[in-house]
Amino acid sequence: MKRFVFSLAWVFALVLASSLAHAAVVEHTFNVEDITVQRLCRQQLITAVNGTLPGPTINAREGDTIVVHVFNKSPYNLTLHWHGIIQFLTPWSDGPEFVTQCPIPSGSRYTYKFNLTGQEGTLWWHAHSSFLRATVYGALLIRPRIGHSYPFPKVYQEVPILLGEWWNANVVEVEHNATESQTAPIPSAAYTINGLPGDSYNCSENQMYQLKVKQGKTYLLRIINAALNEQHFFKIANHTFTVVAIDALYTQHYKTDVVVLAPGQTVDVLFSTNQHVDSYYMAFTPYHSAPQIPINNSTTRGLVIYEGATSVEKPILPNLPAQTDTPTAHKFYTNITGLAGGPHWVPVPRQVDEHMFITFGLNFDLCKNVSTPNGCSARQPPLSASMNNESFVLPRGKGLSMLEAFYNNDVNGVYTRDFPNQPPIVFDYTDPNITSTTELAFKIAPKSTKVKTLKFNSTVQIVLQNTAIVSAENHPIHIHGFNFHVLAQGFGNYNATRDEPKFNLVNPQIRNTISVPVGGWSVVRFQANNPGVWLVHCHLETHLPWGLAMAFEVENGPTPSLSVPPPPADLPRC
């Protein structure tokens, strides 16, 4: 079969050229600074953007150019990431610290500039430095260009719904204490809806998100999981949804009474107010795929209040799934299909140039501090994480980011180009008997900064295989710089003979963050048409510092117009 007739890179270039004449420049100023807010019976100092939690919503249209001037007035060095934006030929604006840029120093500034070419839907932005994304985040909403419409009926109103996570503590110190003690960080104290915890928490009856609606209307809910560490079920009592997009990619309409989304993922649903005039709870409750791991297992609630409702004292509660309900989560994650032929649809590339099999999960590490409160020892070593038995380390203290090293064609001392295509050991990856007493669990994954080099425009297929070492859990894996087709997902160990015939090559869902099933696998495919260095990592915030990451180095294209451009003049220095 012939290779994909037209390189997606050239498609991007042509669309970009044709769209600039009809596009707007959407410009924002983000002041990042510490503010004091009242939550859960106490005042807490947090880092936020423009004094709000969540931060400002960016509203734009497909084809627009986004310009965000960031003034870092906080005491922390940080970066911002525009989650799900492809950043085609704008890799300097992707944001993950020490990968595509050095952090913006406290007291300094940096301007992010990128195009929204060929993308529309619900995305978001967040800090990509330590736990700061707990409070530094906001929605990025991309509507169709003027004269174009959504591939679904007109709605009465669009409503962003952002799930957040709240600590009664300085979140930077939470991560620092976990790093020093070499253990998991303390769980959060609450979850929030649009920054508010809701009446299931102390002192929060008057801090609950309320959505006021008219009966007989259809609303577009743009749901974003901005939590750091937990996947969630979302329901509204007595109502159902129609899923129309995920991760800013349109889908076949899928009817459901529950939405499931992992940290980093977005889901757009049509929500019809077709019930009696009354008040109804909306609720997020965690999907806890690994019950043996302690989490914040609380539920946050908001209110849907119909116009004309006489009382909101006894709202109707939704019937939520059990927090360990993997069948419900898996059904939602796997039943959605892409809107083939719809706006911005990209067919599945059929010829595969690079096959990768990546195992990932938790590991143990060597003790660095034997006097930790938890008694770090050979019998109770600290947690680590890895991909193909390589535990990723950000290149701090190297003087430049990975992308700068790539651009300068001098990566020595910053990273190496030997990330393995396969795991070093073949074993029963999902055997539930692989516990902390086995030799595999105590196998130390070496710390490294390794990338996999991809030829420009090559097609890559990856089997993402969960492992049960230490603990089997559902992991959300985010690939920067690309959307990818999800060809298949399942439980147990991937078997090509059995599972490849199940591939959906016609209308698979397209995502930027895939929730790999607990004790299972997912197969994704994408075309490496975006030159630069792109991070791949678990979007559970605890897992990136532990090393559950790697990176792709995509070579430059055949012409200067398809190569990484020079860095901006105000690019922060390490």
Look at residue 362 in the predicted model and tell me its pLDDT.
Answer: 78
Q: Which amino acid makes up residue 129?
A: S
Tell me the Ramachandran region of residue 238: left when phi exceeds 0, alpha when psi lies from -120 to 50, beta otherwise: left
Q: Is residue 568 part of a domain?
A: no
**For residue 429, what are the β-bridge partners?**
none
415 found inside a domain: yes
Residues 133 and 197 in one domain: no
User: Do 108 and 225 belong together in one domain?
Assistant: no
- Write down the pLDDT at residue 435: 61
In a domain, 276, yes or no: yes
Q: Is 317 a member of any domain? A: yes
| β-bridge mates for residue 281, sequence order | 303
Q: What is the pLDDT of residue 377?
A: 53
The residue ranges of DSSP E strands in 336-426, in sequence order, are: 354-364, 383-387, 391-392
Q: Count of domains in the chain? A: 3
The reply to whether 446 and 519 lie within a common domain is: yes
The answer to whether residues 206 and 297 belong to one domain is: yes
The reply to whether 270 falls in a domain is: yes
Domain around 423: 354-562
Say whether both 297 and 361 belong to one domain: no
Angle among Cα 567, 570, 574 to the nearest 5 degrees reads 80
From the list 98, 48, 51, the residue with the least C-alpha distance to 74 is 48
The pLDDT score that the predictor gives to residue 16 is: 47
* 227 and 155 both lie in a single domain: yes
What's the rounded Cα separation, in Å, for the pair 377 and 372? 9
| Domain boundary, last residue among 144, 166, 198 | 144
Residues in the chain: 574
Residues 65 and 191 in one domain: no
- Pair 47, 178 in one domain: no
Q: For residue 441, what pLDDT is reported?
A: 56
- CATH number of the domain within which 426 lies: 2.60.40.420
> Are 401 and 517 in the same domain?
yes
CA dist., res. 168 & res. 515, Å (int): 28
346 within domain boundaries:
no
Task: Give domain status of residue 510, yes or no.
Answer: yes
Q: Which of 310, 336, 362 is the last residue of a domain?
A: 336
Q: Is residue 11 part of a domain?
A: no
Write b or e for each residue in 485-519: b if 16 or more Cβ atoms lie within 10 A of its Cβ, otherwise e: bbbbbbebbbeeeebeeebbeebbbbbbbbbbbbb
Assigned token pair, 538: 């678990």
End-to-end CA distance of the chain: 47
434 and 449 co-located in one domain = yes
- Per-residue pLDDT tens digits of the chain, which is 574 residues long: 334 433 444 444 444 444 445 689 999 999 999 999 999 999 999 999 999 999 999 999 999 999 999 999 999 999 999 999 999 999 999 999 999 999 999 999 999 999 999 999 999 999 999 899 999 999 999 999 999 999 999 999 999 999 999 999 999 999 888 877 777 889 999 999 999 999 999 999 999 999 999 999 999 999 999 999 999 999 999 999 999 999 999 999 999 999 999 999 999 999 999 999 999 999 999 999 887 788 899 999 999 999 999 877 789 999 999 999 999 999 999 999 999 999 999 999 999 999 999 999 877 776 665 444 444 555 556 778 899 999 999 999 999 999 999 999 999 999 999 999 999 988 898 988 776 555 665 567 889 999 999 999 999 999 999 998 877 788 899 999 999 999 999 999 999 999 999 999 999 999 999 999 999 999 999 999 999 999 999 988 777 778 899 999 999 999 999 999 999 999 999 8
Q: Are 504 and 393 part of one and the same domain?
A: yes
* Same domain, yes or no: 161 and 128: no
What are the CA-CA distances from residue 331 to residues 322, 326, 421 (Å)? 14, 8, 30
Per-residue tokens: 318: 């939704």
DSSP H stretches of helix in 336-424: 402-407
Last residue of a domain, one of 111, 127, 144: 144
Is the bond leading into 446 cis (omega within 30 degrees of zero)? Answer: no
